[in-house]
Amino acid sequence: MIVWLNGTHGAGKTTTSALVQQLVPGSRVFDAEKVGETLMDITPRLPETDNFQHWPPWRPLVVETARRVLDYTGGTLVMPMTVLVEEYWREISSGLARHHIPVRHFVLHADQDTLRARIAGDSILGPNSPFRLAYLEPYAEAARTWLHDEAEVVDTTHLTPVQAAQQIAEAVKT
């Protein structure tokens, strides 16, 4: 199974994924961003883009990597990854379905003020990251138009990461 944690930057995906992994027996964290980083390391560089998800190889490589890891290890993969383009989510989810891999898709949601405050106070990636701030409106648009209909929404506005992880782990167990 895959437990996909979606949501915009600052929602708590990375922190929550590590906590979910501790609560779900036999699980591992697979950050699909590493697939994008691998593509970014290709020389000469792939065509210029503002997001590696726009490169057509990224999506099937995420599917294939997840499939291969699950074939090798079994269990559950917890995947923290923002996907805000509906077409990309459909490509990934249908690719996983073709391999009979069940997906529990969660969106970690927080209101815009909370997200801005989290981004401003981030001591790891730095405060007020222009990259992270740039995704607030695309997230809001995706949430309004398709994303919240496609996933189980966990409102993290007033939850700690531990509480969010517990909520997700309980949902996965049922």
> Residue 12 maps to which CATH number?
3.40.50.300
pTM: 0.95
pLDDT tier for residue 75 given thresholds of 50, 70 and 90 = very high
5, 153 Cβ separation under 8 angstroms:
no
Note down the domain range covering 6: 2-173
pLDDT tens-digit profile of 117-139? Answer: 988 888 777 777 888 889 999 99
Contact residues for 32 (Cβ-Cβ < 8 A; gap 6+): 62, 65, 66, 79, 81
Domain total in the chain: 1
